[in-house]
């Protein structure tokens, strides 16, 4: 059973709206192949994964920073944690019900989260 913790001050956003907003923020900074995976009803880990690809270490860092700053400044939403560093090729932002994975292309293919979660999820948004 997943413990649901709300790290958001902006209770007006539900988890689906937050996932879509994050996808839009990533698109604003030129992230590639953005997917929002709906993991409900099982929600073992989260309601949604937002998965995106960055083009370089610097781009990964900028994407993660943009999401963090925009959500904090405009919605009062802080991640519970941030894992990984841009140089590793994978940055994770944990917003409780929404987990954001930003990869370099080779790491995204290697970890293949879309394939790993395919049976338990459905794609609700795809931005190429």
The predicted structure's pLDDT at residue 4: 40
The predicted structure's pLDDT at residue 11: 57
The predicted structure's pLDDT at residue 5: 42
The predicted structure's pLDDT at residue 43: 65
pTM equals 0.87
CATH superfamily of this structure's domain 15-127: Beta Polymerase, domain 2 (3.30.460.10)
Closest CA to 50 of 89, 75, 24: 24
Residues in the chain with pLDDT < 50?
1-8, 10
């Amino acid at each position: 059973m997943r413990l649901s913790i709300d790290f958001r001050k902006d209770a007006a956003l539900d988890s689906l709206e937050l996932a879509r907003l994050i996808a839009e923020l990533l698109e604003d900074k030129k992230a590639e192949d953005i997917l929002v995976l709906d993991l409900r009803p099982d929600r073992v880990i989260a309601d949604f994964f937002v998965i995106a690809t960055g083009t370089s270490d610097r781009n990964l860092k900028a994407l993660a920073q943009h999401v963090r700053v925009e959500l904090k400044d405009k919605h009062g939403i802080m991640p519970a944690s941030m894992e990984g560093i841009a140089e590793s090729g994978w940055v994770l932002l944990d917003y409780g019900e929404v987990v954001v994975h930003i990869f370099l292309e080779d790491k995204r293919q290697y970890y293949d989260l879309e394939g790993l979660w395919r049976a338990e999820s459905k794609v609700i948004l795809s931005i190429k």
